């Protein structure tokens, strides 16, 4: 018997993929890799992309360590198996007489349409009914339609705000939220155990199990999204909008029109979907410079506000005039403003607001002020929506994360940059009618709840031993926590991986400081540590401009101190 080395195994995997790969581009890439041999084949075919709570995401290319049509078909086959065999009693389907239903959608990235088409044909080939939305469309439309149609799962082909070279595969379950354990791990195991799918596993494009939806599904989302604002609230506002070359424009404009707002002025260079994102280095509205074109247009036209979505329109960024210049609000600023706006416009002490452990603590204070429930969760909207799902007596009205993700109501159990944009426009129009600005409203929150400033630093651990050095540093911080960070005393430390943690176990440390806190956690996708800092001036001076300068200086000092604490093992 011949002994197969790791390299031989990778080459055999590559040849197996070559036999079933339907795409001429990745077939040619695999042939080239096999011809070159060595580490290149092992790097692409020695392992596969991890399927987790966010589904799949990675660089386009050949092999199981990249996003491609074979990988998508494998994942769709695993999802079909999970739906058909694991929902009902004794491991059988929930309803043997009715096929499970999956809603599928895609954005405008390279290969997204092909990935979606392969998905519905593979699912139908396994006996799963599908609704393919008339894309390219925003992620919130998929998340809404899943619940609106009572589907068993939803799949969105998108890499959100990742670099142009990437694509991804986001999976939702019957509760309308992104999958969590154990569903994610069960699908991952099914991917490993299943044979490579071939063209014979695909249903015909006109299979009766595939419904190719028209605009009615989008219209349902538009009508429901427009209802998140009050019928009689102010509408006088001039808006500049950019979808950052993504798919948000048409849907957002329809929602604003349906809600009675004037049509936003779209940045012309960034209005059409373009998977190459030619005007930005990185298609993330949080990245400095991403909103430059929009702010310049707003300044030239005298607009009241800039609203921006990321390419799949599930995130929102906001810029507003601040004196003679423009200010891009942080995700925590937008979250606090939207939360206060939503709570001011409603009633009921069973209302629930939620945010993550790495976001600002101001939301808790806002919730207390309005007499409503508050929940703190792990990072990601798969967790932010959970408190509302777990407590049917609650009324989930708002959730957010500091990374520009917001959910206004629970019509979408995920972040939704379109409804968030509409709600923020309502807030800005309300302030404008009263002769005030968004900054005036933010200052009101500071006076009531304290001046909160937040920031993030990342420390990369390079080299093959980066992950082990990072783990060693986290253990060191656990066993010997610092007494102070940047001259701010450590009052206590909470280890979220320890027994008795208030949240599901995760590798993160929360340092509660005098007048602030620091959260340290490893990235879920890269060898780096993230340090989330918050500094609070509980009683800011009357001159809020000077108070903000002073608090920002303290924040920078805390972030510098965190960097020094973490870089000892990152060299």
User: What pLDDT was estimated at residue 571?
Assistant: 42
Q: For 427-451, give one letter per residue: b (16+ CB within 10 A) or e.
A: bbbbbbeeeebbbebbbebbeebbb
Of 332, 267, 275, 233, nearest in space to 113 by CA: 275
Q: Inform me whether the pLDDT recorded for 54 exceeds 80.
A: no
User: What pLDDT was estimated at residue 87?
Assistant: 52
User: What pLDDT was estimated at residue 91?
Assistant: 39
End-to-end, the C-alpha distance of the chain in Å comes to 46
Instruction: Determine the average pLDDT of the residues in 184-200.
Output: 94
Q: Inform me whether the pLDDT recorded for 569 exceeds 80.
A: no
Beta bridge partners of 534: 454, 517
Strand order of the β-sheet with 484-485 is 451-460, 528-537, 516-522, 509-513, 488-495, 484-485
**Which range, of 39-53, 206-220, 369-383, averages the lowest pLDDT?**
39-53
Instruction: Determine the average pLDDT of the residues in 301-326.
Output: 97
User: What pLDDT was estimated at residue 132?
Assistant: 98
Residue-wise pLDDT tens digits, 93-115: 556 678 999 999 999 999 999 99
Residue-wise pLDDT tens digits, 57-95: 999 999 999 999 999 999 999 999 999 986 544 334 556
Cβ atoms of 460 and 570 within 8 Å: the answer is: yes
> Phi-psi region for residue 302, left (φ > 0), alpha (ψ -120 to 50) or beta?
left
Question: What is the pLDDT of the chain when averaged over all its residues?
Answer: 93
pLDDT range class, residue 9, cuts 50, 70, 90: confident
Q: Inform me whether the pLDDT recorded for 376 exceeds 60.
A: yes
Q: Inform me whether the pLDDT recorded for 417 exceeds 60.
A: yes
Residue-wise pLDDT tens digits, 483-507: 999 999 999 999 999 998 989 999 9
Rg of the chain over Cα atoms, rounded to whole angstroms, equals 24
The percent of residues in the chain predicted with pLDDT above 70, rounded, is 96
Cβ atoms of 530 and 458 within 8 Å: the answer is: yes
Distances (CA, A) of 238 to 50, 322, 524, 525, 564: 44, 16, 39, 39, 45
pLDDT range class, residue 464, cuts 50, 70, 90: confident
Copy the structure tokens of residue 332: 């925590």
Instruction: Determine the average pLDDT of the residues in 469-481.
Output: 93
Q: Inform me whether the pLDDT recorded for 7 exceeds 80.
A: no
User: What pLDDT was estimated at residue 135?
Assistant: 86
pLDDT range class, residue 1, cuts 50, 70, 90: very low
The percent of residues in the chain predicted with pLDDT above 90, rounded, is 88
User: What pLDDT was estimated at residue 95?
Assistant: 64
User: What pLDDT was estimated at residue 567?
Assistant: 85
User: What pLDDT was estimated at residue 5?
Assistant: 38
What amino acid positions are annotated as catalytic residues? Answer: 160
User: What pLDDT was estimated at residue 8?
Assistant: 58
User: What pLDDT was estimated at residue 269?
Assistant: 98
Phi–psi pair at 301, nearest 5 degrees: -100, -5
Residue-wise pLDDT tens digits, 281-293: 999 999 999 999 9
Domains and CATH numbers, the chain: 1-47 (no CATH), 50-214 (3.40.120.10), 233-449 (3.40.120.10), 451-567 (3.30.310.50)
Distances (CA, A) of 165 to 154, 205, 276, 277, 460: 24, 28, 8, 10, 21
Copy the structure tokens of residue 529: 């540590």
pLDDT range class, residue 241, cuts 50, 70, 90: very high
pLDDT range class, residue 17, cuts 50, 70, 90: very high
């Amino acid at each position: 018997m011949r002994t197969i080395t790791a390299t031989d195994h990778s080459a055999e995997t590559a040849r197996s993929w070559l036999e079933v790969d339907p795409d001429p581009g990745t077939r040619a890439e695999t042939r080239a890799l096999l011809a070159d041999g060595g580490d290149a084949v092992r790097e692409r075919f020695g392992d596969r992309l991890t399927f987790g709570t966010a589904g799949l995401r990675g660089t386009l290319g050949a092999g199981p360590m990249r996003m491609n049509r074979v990988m998508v078909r494998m994942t769709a086959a695993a999802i079909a198996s999970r739906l058909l065999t694991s929902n009902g009693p004794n491991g059988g389907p929930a309803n043997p007489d009715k096929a499970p239903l999956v809603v599928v959608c895609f954005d405008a990235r390279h290969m997204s349409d092909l990935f979606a088409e392969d998905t519905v044909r593979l699912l139908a080939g396994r006996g799963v009914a599908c609704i393919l939305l008339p894309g390219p469309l925003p992620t919130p439309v998929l998340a809404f339609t899943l619940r609106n149609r009572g589907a068993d799962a939803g799949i969105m082909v998108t890499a959100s705000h990742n670099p142009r070279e990437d694509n991804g595969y986001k999976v939702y379950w019957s509760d309308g939220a992104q999958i969590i354990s154990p569903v994610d791990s069960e699908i991952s195991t099914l991917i490993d155990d299943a044979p490579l799918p071939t063209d014979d596993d695909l249903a015909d494009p006109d299979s009766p199990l595939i419904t190719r939806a028209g605009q009615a599904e989008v219209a349902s989302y538009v009508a429901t999204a427009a209802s998140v604002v009050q019928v009689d609230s102010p509408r006088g506002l001039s808006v500049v909008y950019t979808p950052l070359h993504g798919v948000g424009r048409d849907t957002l404009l329809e929602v604003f029109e349906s809600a009675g707002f004037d049509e936003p002025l779209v940045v012309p260079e960034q209005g059409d979907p373009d998977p190459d994102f030619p005007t930005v280095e990185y298609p993330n509205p949080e990245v400095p410079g991403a909103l430059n074109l929009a702010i310049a247009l707003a300044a030239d036209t005298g607009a009241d506000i800039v609203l921006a979505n990321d390419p799949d329109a599930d995130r929102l960024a906001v810029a507003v005039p601040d004196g003679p210049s423009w200010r891009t609000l942080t995700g925590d600023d937008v979250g606090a403003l939207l939360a206060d706006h939503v709570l001011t416009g409603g009633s009921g002490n069973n209302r629930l607001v939620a945010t993550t452990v790495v976001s600002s603590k101001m939301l808790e204070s806002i919730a207390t002020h309005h007499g409503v429930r508050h929940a703190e969760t792990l990072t990601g909207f798969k967790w932010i929506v959970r408190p509302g799902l777990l407590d049917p007596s609650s009324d989930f009205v708002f959730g957010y994360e500091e990374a520009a993700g917001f959910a206004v109501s629970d019509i979408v159990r995920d972040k939704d940059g379109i409804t968030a944009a509409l709600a923020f426009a309502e807030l800005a129009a309300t302030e404008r009618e009263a002769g005030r600005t968004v900054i005036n409203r933010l200052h009101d929150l500071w006076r009531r709840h304290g001046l909160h400033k937040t920031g993030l630093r990342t420390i990369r651990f390079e080299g093959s031993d980066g992950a082990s050095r990072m783990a060693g540093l986290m253990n060191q911080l656990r066993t010997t926590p610092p007494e102070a960070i940047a001259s701010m005393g450590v009052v206590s430390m909470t280890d979220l991986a320890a027994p008795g943690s208030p949240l599901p176990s995760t590798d993160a440390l929360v340092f509660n400081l005098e007048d602030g806190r620091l959260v340290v956690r490893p990235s879920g996708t890269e060898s780096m540590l993230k340090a989330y800092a918050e500094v609070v001036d509980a009683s800011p001076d009357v001159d809020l401009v000077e108070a903000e300068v002073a608090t920002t200086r303290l924040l920078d000092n805390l972030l510098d101190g965190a960097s020094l604490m973490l870089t000892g093992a990152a060299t």
